[in-house]
Amino acid sequence: GAGVSQTPSNKVTEKGKYVELRCDPISGHTALYWYRQSLGQGPEFLIYFQGTGAADDSGLPNDRFFAVRPEGSVSTLKIQRTERGDSAVYLCASSSARNTGELFFGEGSRLTVL
């Protein structure tokens, strides 16, 4: 596709459930980022992939959060035992640069945990 695609656009789940959010980056982009954005805040860094490997996962808040990118393209963010505090918009971005350059963001997946 022409841009970064994220699915689902909206996800409502109950506390304690497992959730997967998918990101399809721009074709050929080697770098992929996950951010989380709460209302009135800027995007908060979660994890950065360069190819298939997680180059920096320092932003993942705890071990309930995990992300994969097995073939160096599509990435999945996985959240176990969701909590109400996980409610936010999860943004994915990709970049063609090895070092941080211009990021192309998707429209985000809005997660609501009831």
- Encoded tokens for 16: 């304690």
Q: Which of 41, 80, 96, 112 binds other proteins (CB under 8 A)?
A: 41
Instruction: Tell me, letter by letter, the H, E, C secondary structure of 28-42.
Output: CCCEEEEEEECCCCC
Per CB under 8 A, which region of 12-20, 22-30, 65-73, 101-109 contacts other proteins?
101-109
From candidates 1, 28, 40, 53, binder to other proteins by CB under 8 A: 40
The yes or no reply on residue 108 touching other proteins (CB under 8 A) is yes
CB nearer to other proteins: pick between 58 and 62: 58
Q: Does 101 bind other proteins (CB under 8 A)?
A: yes
Tokens of 47: 């994890």
Residue 21: name the closest of 12, 35, 8, 32 by CA: 8
Neighbouring CB atoms inside 10 A of 28's CB total 8
* Per-residue mark of binding to other proteins, 74-93 (x: CB under 8 A): -----------------x-x
* Helix, strand or coil, per DSSP, at residue 86: helix
- Is residue 54 at the binding interface for other proteins, with CB under 8 A as the rule? no
